Structures are given as C-alpha cells and as structure tokens.
Amino acid sequence: MRTHSSLVVDVVELLDDPGTPKPLVFTADVPEMAAGLSRAAPEVDLDLAAEAIDGGIWVKGAVAGRYRAECRRCLAPVDHPFSYEVAELYRPQTEVWEEGYVIKETTIDLGPLVRDAVVLNLPQNPLCRDDCAGLCGVCGGNLNDEPHTHGAEIDSRWSALKDLRDGLR
C-alpha cells in the first residue's frame, strides 16, 4: 500500500471500494517540525484510517511523538510526549484544488497533514512544569532548585515610589 516514501500512500484500493476504511498504522520520519521554542522529534507514530467518500478520501486518527525545547522561564530542557487528533479530506486535484490535501493520481501525501497537525499544536513557549518559578533576577539561579536568601535589590530609580508607598502605610 505504500510507495517510495512511507508518507505517500497508494489509495487505488480505497477509490475502487468506497466506504471501506483502510488502517494506516506505522512510524515515519517527518523532519522540520518546529514552532517557537519547541521542536518535534522527526520520528512520528501514525494511527490513522483512510476511507473513500463522495468528494475525496477522509483521513482521521492520531499523530503521536515527542517534542524537545527549553523552558521559557528557567531554560531547563523539556522533553514531552504529544498526541494530536487529525481529520482531513483529501480532494481530487483540480484547478481549484491544486495544493494542500489533494489526491495526486492514485496517491495521497500524509506529510503536510502530519506537519500541520504537529506544528500548529506544539507549545510555542513551553514550560518544564506549570509552576516553574523561573530564574532569579538578581543572581540568575534557578528558583526551582536553589533556595534564595538574598532579597531583591531595589533599583535606585524606583526609590521615590518606595518612599511614597511606605508613607501611605
């Protein structure tokens, strides 16, 4: 059922037998998937089903893998799994539908579908954890790991406001 690329799938069987779903379950390498500070590992697990319907081929299922990044607050490495649901219609190639999710002769290319699902859902500003405290503004230490005893130094430019606040108490 697959051709030269694992992401280019021959769908002649589907076109000959509409209404019968065909499972597409395999692992593929999909390079160049990044969004903001996150980059997906190229190895992606596909658990899809394709079915010929009136007007094209309906592809639905899940795309799963891992992404790596640096935490936006503390710069710690982040390595998390992802799983995104997909559902798209591949249409026959016409003057209107020249690009995107199209059926080219008797094949469909799952590459754009996978890239779109992953890149549009990856966190652009990932966190190592939801309650990440970030880095200390004074010494640069990771506030998640290191207890801090020094107080925050007040910039002398703000001392007038501090005096005003203290006078209102």
Q: Which pLDDT belongs to residue 104? A: 87
User: Residue 55's pLDDT is what?
Assistant: 83
Residues 33, 90 share a domain: yes
Domain count, the chain: 2
Note whether 76 and 128 are within 8 A (CB). Answer: yes
Single pTM value for the model = 0.76
Q: Are residues 117 and 137 in the same domain?
A: no
Is 106 within 8 Å of 11 (Cβ atoms)? Answer: yes
Q: Would residue 127 count as lying in a domain? A: no
pLDDT value for 151:
63
Residues 94 and 150 in one domain: no
Average pLDDT for runs of 10 along the chain of length 169: 71 86 93 88 95 91 96 94 95 72 90 93 92 87 81 74 83
Note the helical H segments in the chain: 12-16, 111-121, 159-168
pLDDT of residue 148: 76
Burial degree of 149 (CB within 10 A; 0-12, 13-18, 19+): exposed
Range of the structural domain that residue 98 is part of: 8-121
pLDDT for position 2: 40
pLDDT recorded at residue 149? 73
State residue 59's pLDDT score: 96
Are 116 and 143 in the same domain?
Answer: no
pLDDT for the residue 95 = 61
Degrees to nearest 5, angle at CA 76 with 75 and 79: 120
My answer on whether 161 and 112 are in the same domain is no
CA distance 45 to 25: 8
Q: What confidence score (pLDDT) does residue 160 get? A: 85
